Structure 1
């Protein structure tokens, strides 16, 4: 574990490409809409630096942002968003290092077979029974010195994790993982389940798996045959990639490879499927989901190409690799998902840029459905889906290609928190952005003490 305090690196001088240009910006250029501003950037620090150490997800608490990275996580002081500071860098390798927070606890996903559950572990084949994957728990009471408390092993590791509050002083961690293999002792097919970890806040060392509910008793989407020509083909369902809970509504949305799912979580230890949908024509890999604040819509994302392909070009088009907007109709266990439209960023990207729909969150504007969203090297899009059938973009920000060849980069997660947009750029580190627009300005009035984007709050209850 290393600590870097008081470090602020100024935003580098850049050439700014014309906002209205039909051509993508060049290398080291920035293009944006007039209502978007880049306030600050802090490059990846210490063990987080290096092209192989990808910036990943975010969680927020008070004046601190916790940014995941394949090499660990970084704590930033964002009390002055235009002048963020690095507080602590925690070295703890293991992709993806997805982060969630509850009280003074931080939960870190490990989706790589490691030699043990320590932060000094090294990769080990998943075929070895002694290899470890799962959730690590840290005490962040002292943000300058997070303390490693406990590890919980889960089947097939933890690609992502979702915080679901329990009774007072208790949290549940829903662990998403996928792609089992008959040669993996701890990750056997069919793996139609998630793992649920119960965490008592006062005694996190006693945390453990309390349930492994099977969510796809029929096996889920069988998918298209291996070898289906690119960019066609839908993944078979063998687990979930990401789950987004809306605890105040007792529901959860699941992006589960070949299926988009609406779950009931009124009993957090016994979630069950209400309804599911498939889009075998245009969706390749159901990746993540976001409810609108009224919880009568879901935006599902499709990670065409696994996030490493150039899918925001004219050859792929505007439906594949896009978001899909569904209305939730009906009530109770008779609710259904009804497709309304696709949304994809309207700017063409270079063939050297990986670009596809990725992680975002709502901007809290009452009476409107507005989302900020990362698109890898496609940048950041702020868009309105109040009319489910006619989504439209409000603002955007992007950099030109990170490399002269197709290399993974760009914004992994872009979330709105207390008036600002925080982007965890895979290669460039922390970006802090501001949108000034009549459509979004109301969002600045909403303040949260905590934000896990995969555990949505009710902003206006």
Structure 2
């Protein structure tokens, strides 16, 4: 066995030079002399810096999904979030969605493009169903490109579109669900006690539609500091959509929970904690204003019937035992956070990370003058049904004023025994962090491109960067707002061993939605056991004669894998010398599981 394979590099593709990788740094401050700083501007081609992760493929936007990237002119064609189904990646866009074939995961190919404007275009999949968020006024029921002009238009669609993708090359739009504030994002919430249905938690963040266009919509002042206790205002609630799997065309809103209510006063706006005129600690106005009248995004963890909501001015935790009627368990706020944007659980559901989208994703918020706790992640431990703050994390390389950069979408890298996240930072690139110790998150890999520069706007801020970076079946895939669809290969290093990476690659899913976090279960294997072995060595809890004994017997067991009894005997010899606690205890259990599986 190779205990700790070493490989760490940084490259600059455009310059064609090799430089040393930056040292691993904690989240406390920006790193000095980081190769990501001062990368040369460009578009295609570009300059880049990387450490312990390699860009394998880039597929530029094409056809109806390509546009001028000067300034912010191209936002109507920007790539957004992504979801996965089998060998397909579904890339959302403000102009519809595209499907990439991942049969060769290192070289995806464009399979299908479906033009259907409406923004934001976030997708999720469940079996043969595809759901797409639509919030813009130009969205039409018929997916037309001519827009839907006027304050009231019967052809307008704002809400959650539903497609039948049983033939993914020919998606068929089903009746979707119209909502009063459209759909900025949505999340699948499943209920093990209700297999005939799934639920969609919808978050609308834009203006309220007139009742003449959609019955039941009632506008209110979302910045009203006074208690709001009467009427049925569209603000201060989410939409719960029930989708019968046998008849998804009948999907409909079944509840609109007021999850921000003050239990003492009954005020719908009970969590509103920031008013206009309040300044961010940077001394500038909050952008956006975190006034908590809706959620930006929520993430479900069905194994514990929990949902973590990133809700403008608050991070909240919901009990979803009854998914139609979620119950708020806890809420947290932080003056450093401008806009609570998204959430991720760890695989045990004992931690949650919230992101802050300070500047709305369109501003430079990773400058040397921006403190690490601004536009960052906030890490919390779950103590029962309460969230306890542990630390902040921000990608540790300062970016320029020409790069929109702030914390954005992420997913777990399924390494057994560790909590590892790959996260997008727009034009800050991606950062892979180990947050096993929530008080001390550590970066273990990164990738970054230089600022986007065009002939028409060579030195200004052009919208681009990685919107989402997700691990799926052995690779990291990313949606680049302006440059297309990226594939990355994570590499071994001092902080990620070959056994750990191979164990992560053994996790093969039929589908994946980052906001519907299914608990990962690893089948016993020599890679999984080796991952725990490497972790025990790395931490120093396995050393000396015990290390030599375990390594010897584990190596012999692997060679004897085809001879069950002999391999089991070697594993028993290794198990015998290990303690029951700490990293040794984790390794001991992994070896017992492996012995039982042989």
Query: What TM-score, normalized by structure 2, do the two folds share?
Result: 0.71
Partner of 1:138: 163
Distance 1:336 1:222 in 2: 19
Distance 2:153 2:101 in 1: 40
- Residues 71 and 16 of structure 1: is their aligned pair in 2 closer, same or farther, counting only changes over 3 Å? farther
1:409 to 2:470 alignment: no
1:173 to 2:200 alignment: yes
Name the Cα RMSD after superposition.
2.1
**1:460 shift after superposition:** 2.0
Distance 1:378 1:16 in 2: 21
Which residue, 300, 320, 329 being the options, matches 2:374? 320
* SS of match in other structure, 1:443: helix
**1:445 shift after superposition:** 1.6
- Residues 126 and 165 of structure 1: is their aligned pair in 2 closer, same or farther, counting only changes over 3 Å? farther
Distance 1:115 1:392 in 2: 42
Task: Pick the structure with more strand per residue.
Answer: 1
Distance 2:394 2:211 in 1: 37
Partner of 1:449: 510
* SS of match in other structure, 2:390: strand
- Residues 368 and 197 of structure 1: is their aligned pair in 2 closer, same or farther, counting only changes over 3 Å? same
Larger Rg: 2
**1:348 shift after superposition:** 1.0
Distance 2:359 2:431 in 1: 20
Distance 2:321 2:328 in 1: 12
Which residue, 299, 315, 332 being the options, matches 2:353? 299
Partner of 2:14: 14
- Is there any run of 5+ residues in structure 1 with no aligned partner, and where? 1-11
Partner of 1:6: none
Distance 2:211 2:441 in 1: 43
Distance 1:13 1:400 in 2: 11
- Residues 146 and 15 of structure 1: is their aligned pair in 2 closer, same or farther, counting only changes over 3 Å? farther
Does 367-376 or 222-231 show the bigger shift?
222-231
1:363 to 2:418 alignment: no
Task: Give per-residue Cα distances to partners, 1:128-152, cap 9 Å, x unaligned.
Answer: 3744310111111111111111221
- Residues 258 and 122 of structure 1: is their aligned pair in 2 closer, same or farther, counting only changes over 3 Å? farther
- Residues 319 and 13 of structure 1: is their aligned pair in 2 closer, same or farther, counting only changes over 3 Å? closer
Asked whether the equivalents of residues 172 and 198 of structure 1 are also in contact (C-alpha less than 8 Å), the reply is yes
* SS of match in other structure, 1:430: strand
**1:69 shift after superposition:** 0.5
Asked whether the equivalents of residues 231 and 316 of structure 1 are also in contact (C-alpha less than 8 Å), the reply is no
Does 418-427 or 169-178 show the bigger shift?
169-178
**1:231 shift after superposition:** 4.2
**1:179 shift after superposition:** 4.8
Distance 2:376 2:140 in 1: 38
Asked whether the equivalents of residues 180 and 238 of structure 1 are also in contact (C-alpha less than 8 Å), the reply is no
1:415-426 equivalent positions in 2, closer than 5 A: 415-426=470-481
- Residues 397 and 13 of structure 1: is their aligned pair in 2 closer, same or farther, counting only changes over 3 Å? closer
Asked whether the equivalents of residues 432 and 445 of structure 2 are also in contact (C-alpha less than 8 Å), the reply is yes
Partner of 1:276: 331
Partner of 1:396: 446
The aligned length equals 445
* SS of match in other structure, 2:300: strand
1:257 to 2:312 alignment: yes
Does 212-221 or 124-133 show the bigger shift?
124-133
Which residue, 406, 424, 432 being the options, matches 1:382? 432
Distance 2:184 2:218 in 1: 13
1:329 to 2:383 alignment: yes
1:234-245 equivalent positions in 2, closer than 5 A: 235-245=290-300
Asked whether the equivalents of residues 250 and 265 of structure 1 are also in contact (C-alpha less than 8 Å), the reply is yes
1:39 to 2:56 alignment: yes
Distance 1:84 1:15 in 2: 26
Query: What TM-score, normalized by structure 1, do the two folds share?
Result: 0.92
**1:196 shift after superposition:** 1.2
Distance 2:471 2:189 in 1: 20
Asked whether the equivalents of residues 291 and 298 of structure 1 are also in contact (C-alpha less than 8 Å), the reply is yes
Partner of 1:224: 275
- Residues 231 and 292 of structure 1: is their aligned pair in 2 closer, same or farther, counting only changes over 3 Å? farther
* SS of match in other structure, 1:202: coil
Task: Give per-residue Cα distances to partners, 1:383-430, cap 9 Å, x unaligned.
Answer: 011111101100000110012311210000000001100000000110
Partner of 1:114: 138
Distance 2:206 2:439 in 1: 34
Task: Give per-residue Cα distances to partners, 1:355-397, cap 9 Å, x unaligned.
Answer: 0000000011122110000000000110011111101100000
Asked whether the equivalents of residues 181 and 208 of structure 2 are also in contact (C-alpha less than 8 Å), the reply is no
Distance 1:328 1:296 in 2: 5
Distance 1:181 1:205 in 2: 25
* SS of match in other structure, 2:136: strand
Distance 1:294 1:162 in 2: 20
Partner of 1:7: none
- Is there any run of 5+ residues in structure 2 with no aligned partner, and where? 1-11, 23-32, 221-232, 263-268, 454-458, 523-598
1:203 to 2:263 alignment: no
